[in-house]
Amino acid sequence: MRRARTLLAVSLLALVAACGGSGEAAELSGTELDPPFEVSSTPLVDTEGAAYSLSEDTDKDLTLVFFGYTNCPDICGQVMATLAGTLTRLDDEQKERLDVVFVTTDPARDTGQVVQEYVDAFDPSIIGLTGDLDDIVEVGRSLAIGVDKGKKLPSGGYDVTHGTQVMAIDAADETPVFWDYDVSQAQLAHDVTMLLDEG
């Protein structure tokens, strides 16, 4: 009887190990970059008009950066909602070690006040940046984010073409990981937790 119980206990332990020890939980949902991108030090402008560089002024362990614009009809709002939802899944200590930054790709319309109102609508802790379009293009290029003022629309407005990835900047001012626009809140929160644990 005792031998049967021992065999049962060993079998259960093996089953638990098989379920939890596959290593899948340790994988990132994002795409790892090897070598990582080096972030341009060219300063942009925060919503109060002060210079803000994604390399010099991001002093947290991890910074998530998304390039978009406030008049974007679809993907930008989706990604911003994902970023805001991700923040709600993190604990206070994790949030202390993380910055989330939105960079407008349409500075002609997205003034500091417009950007501030936009990021506040998602989460007031998100940092909003604008600046000269040439500077935004340069910073975006260093992260492999294309930015372009597109064709004029019949309405009189214009399209803005931009990359839709969320980029991670680490404490070394490099971008080791990025996520596509359709990453879920749960996936992003999982990866942020992993990256902070590694850092």
Q: What is the pLDDT of residues 85-144, one digit of tens each?
A: 999 999 999 999 999 999 999 998 999 999 999 999 999 999 999 999 899 999 999 999
pLDDT at 159: 57
Which of the two residues, 21 and 70, has the higher pLDDT score? 70
Residue 86 in domain: yes
Residue 21 in domain: no
Q: Could you give the C-alpha distances from 184 to 8, 38, 67, 86, in angstroms and in order? A: 39, 26, 18, 8
Angle formed at CA 82 by CA 43 and CA 90, multiple of 5 degrees: 90
Residue 25 in domain: no
Residue 16 in domain: no
Residue 133 in domain: yes
pLDDT at 147: 81
The 10 Å Cβ neighbour count of residue 156 is 6
Structure-block tokens of residue 158: 């214009």
Number of domains present in the structure of the chain: 1
- Which domain, by its residues, includes 64? 33-198
pLDDT at 196: 96
Band the pLDDT of 17: cuts 50, 70, 90.
Answer: very low
Residue 110 in domain: yes
Q: Are 146 and 164 in contact (CB under 8 A)?
A: no
The 10 Å Cβ neighbour count of residue 164 is 18
Q: What is the pLDDT of residues 152-192, one digit of tens each?
A: 544 445 556 678 999 999 999 999 999 999 999 999 999 99
pLDDT at 4: 41
Q: Could you give the C-alpha distances from 105 to 4, 46, 100, 128, 173, in angstroms and in order? A: 67, 14, 16, 11, 21
Does 11 score more than 60 pLDDT?
no
Question: Considering only 6-20, 55-69, 85-99, which range has the smallest mean pLDDT?
Answer: 6-20
How far is Cα 68 from Cα 80, in angstroms, rounded to an integer? Answer: 9
Q: Reduced to 3 states, what is the DSSP secondary structure of residue 147?
A: strand
Q: What is the CATH number of the domain that holds 48?
A: 3.40.30.10
Q: What is the pLDDT of residues 66-77, one digit of tens each?
A: 999 998 888 999
Does 8 score more than 90 pLDDT?
no
- The strand pair at 44-46 and 127-130 is best described as antiparallel
